[in-house]
Amino acid sequence: MNRSRTLHFLLIIGFVLTGLSSSLAQNQLVQKGDRLYDNKEFAAATNYYEKHLENSEDIATKRKLANCYLQMQKDTEANYLLESIVSSSEVNAKDYLQYATLLKRVRNYEKAKIYFEKYAELVPEDKNISKLILSCDLINELQDDQLYSIKSISLNTPQSDFASGFYKNGLVFVSGRKNNTSNQVDGRTGEYFLDMYFSEKSGDNFLNPESFSNDFNTKYHEGPACFSANEKFIFFTRNKGTLNLEGKSELNIYTSRHNGRDWDKEEIFQFSGQSYSMGHPSISADGRHLYFISNMEGGYGGTDIYVCRKYGFSWSHPINCGPTINTDGNEMFPFIAEDGYLYFASDGHIGFGGLDIFKSIFEQNEWTYPVNLGPPFNSSKDDFGYLIQKNKEIGYFSSNRNGSDDIFEFIQNPEKIQSLNGLLIASDNKQALKDVEVTLMDNLSREKSTKTDGNGLFSFDIFKGKNYSFIVSKPGYKIKRILYFASSDSTELKQLNISMDTTHWVPFKGNIIDQFSARAVKDASIQIINQTYKSNSFCITDDYGDFEQEIDPSKTYDIIIQKEGYFTKVINSYQYQSAKFEQIELQKFSTNQNMELYGVEYDADSWKLKENTIAELNNLAGLLKVNPHISIEISGFTKQDKGRKENNLLCEQRAKVASEYIISKGITPNRIQYKSAGYNSGRSALVVKLTEAF
């Protein structure tokens, strides 16, 4: 009997120990997975989470495994898990948002909208959710009109491959394929660390790729890169794997010069190496603007697009491209084309899902609203890394629409191209008009410009089945906008005959002088913008500061006057009154220059903005808006001495509230600093110092 009881007791102990052992093993699986997950080694963490969930329904582990799948582009597996999670009684708002985002990525827009709306009910304060819901309705309007044909290029491998930049007669690209510089595998992706490669193009084919540079490619991640127009300078991204105080690995930009034989040793770009990331560089054709992404403080979301301007041998402090370009999501992979268009990828603007490719141009002193390129460039997956050659006939972009990141080549579909010819004549005598400026517009986006020849003729290659508009302009004639509607049949296009009515144009004359010295300002640029047609004309001041440009006196214009070293001046809604000679003053600036805001008023011990103060701050915001290359520091003062501590608290609050007001007017936060300056009976309550001025 005693033996039987002892045996029974031992069996119970055995079962308990087995259960404890099993539970301990399960916990160890989760702990190992969590360590890898926290280090963003998602591919490695997946194995432990999957084993744990074989015997568990733990929703926290399901959430982490679903995120691993999403990071690894395993949408089918992620969909299965998230569908289970949103059906659970433990579902939360973030689960709805993540599931809706995945559904949108796999093009199930109707179902995605349902779960975006579920999220909105729980988190109504999220300002971005209305845009996501709207995108599910609008995205079907962007259909593939087959104007471009795309193909996956031969350089692609099962690993990640994405385009980086044009170089010589070929392409520099980034790849996670097996390489000779690193035997390490990235735990986040399960691929080798990224390196840069070069492949020369022969005809329509790419030759075998080779390492771009054994000096640049290291055991860390390298790429993407860009090159100056003369290909003597390179800027490239490197992730050295070092962690910041938050445990995140940061990107840095490096640069090097080609000495005629080889590349010099790379140097870190002057604003890199800080407690934030900088990467994905793209330099303008004139070498004066370097665009890149960063998560530095003062942005709008995850990563924003910034620009540094070069004057002489100096680069300006990074300037955020502003809220028209940047969102509370991620903007990445900028590419500044030779025609001035900025192409970039974003998951914050309305798109198909994941990253989509957009374009914008800086004209009339501001960025135009970004245009989604639509299919075939954008899909429900991540699309990015857009590159296009000067003639716009061939280009590349990258996408993970087929599973892993691949490079795609696109060309204009020759079957969709046709020539549209036109003739400009005077309506009174039917004579052909030469030197008429003809601008082809596509959805208010300027596509091409040309001038009529001696016989009044012009020609554009356009896409079949697409609607356009034309703006025609010539001094002495009324400016016209002509709407062109595509024909429904495929017959050859007839010549477009356009007659222009004469009208009286007048010379807009003026003189630009320095505000303080009254000396002539030569080589100042005057941009005259017709408000009706948004067409531009330009002129430059001569050695005496004089300029002259013919305009239609019946129209209203915005005039932008620019000169390096001076504040940009904008004259809005200018209407011609008489033949008087306009004299316009420009104010010179210099770094560390102080500007007293004399109209600022505060009640004693108050930082509340009064009417006069708001007016002064509106003027300051206007100045910053038309001078995007300027950064400032606002100092707060008080004329009543209440002791150092109270003085500093009051003055800092005044400067802070003033800064926040200016930011609310659309000025990017990283352009404004503020501080307390304390008691000074002789100073204005707010003083502005130019901390950066190029």
Q: Position of tokens 């004639």?
A: 477
The crossing angle, in degrees rounded to 10, of helices 611-626 and 644-664 is 60
Q: What is the C-alpha separation between 136 and 107, in angstroms, rounded?
A: 9
pLDDT score of 167: 95
Please name each of the domains of the chain with its CATH number.
23-141 (1.25.40.10), 148-412 (2.120.10.30), 415-500 (2.60.40.10), 506-586 (2.60.40.1120), 594-693 (3.30.1330.60)
Instruction: Identify which of 467, 472, 366, 359 has the alpha carbon closest to the alpha carbon of residue 422.
Output: 472
The crossing angle, in degrees rounded to 10, of helices 42-53 and 2-38 is 150
Q: What is the C-alpha separation between 635 and 650, in angstroms, rounded?
A: 11
Q: Which two tokens stand for residue 607?
A: 């930082």
- Classify burial at 183, counting beta carbons within 10 Å of its beta carbon; exposed 0-12, middle 13-18, buried 19 or more: exposed
Q: What is the C-alpha separation between 499 and 200, in angstroms, rounded?
A: 49
Q: Which two tokens stand for residue 552?
A: 């239609």
pLDDT score of 355: 93
Phi/psi of residue 537, each to 5°? -135, 150
DSSP assigned state of 28: H
Q: Sort strands 304-311 and 314-315 into parallel, antiparallel or unpaired.
A: antiparallel
Q: What is the C-alpha separation between 60 and 30, in angstroms, rounded?
A: 10
SS3 191: strand
Q: What is the C-alpha separation between 152 and 398, in angstroms, rounded?
A: 9
Q: Position of tokens 């010539």?
A: 474
Distances from the Cα of 601 to the Cαs of 11, 566, 638, in angstroms?
Answer: 85, 28, 11
Dump pLDDT digits (tens) for 443-483: 767 778 999 999 999 999 988 888 899 999 999 999 999 88
pLDDT score of 550: 92
Bridge partner residues of 409 (DSSP): 151, 396
Cβ neighbours of residue 479 under 8 Å, at least 6 residues apart?
471, 472, 473, 530, 532, 533, 535, 552, 555
Q: What is the DSSP string of 80-107?
A: HHHHHHHTSTT--HHHHHHHHHHHHHTT
**What's the 3-state SS for 621-646?**
HHHHHHCCCEEEEEEEEECCCCCHHH
Q: 683 near 689, Cβ under 8 Å?
A: no
pLDDT score of 590: 83
SS3 426: strand
Which mean pLDDT values do the consecutive 10-residue runs of the chain (694 residues) have? Answer: 58 52 68 88 89 87 91 89 92 92 85 92 86 78 78 94 93 90 73 91 92 90 94 91 56 93 92 89 94 92 92 84 91 94 93 90 87 90 92 87 93 88 94 94 80 95 88 93 78 85 93 94 94 88 94 92 92 86 89 88 92 93 89 93 92 95 90 92 91 72
Q: Which two tokens stand for residue 361?
A: 């141009």
pLDDT score of 569: 92
pLDDT score of 245: 46
Neighbours of 412 (CB within 10 A): 17
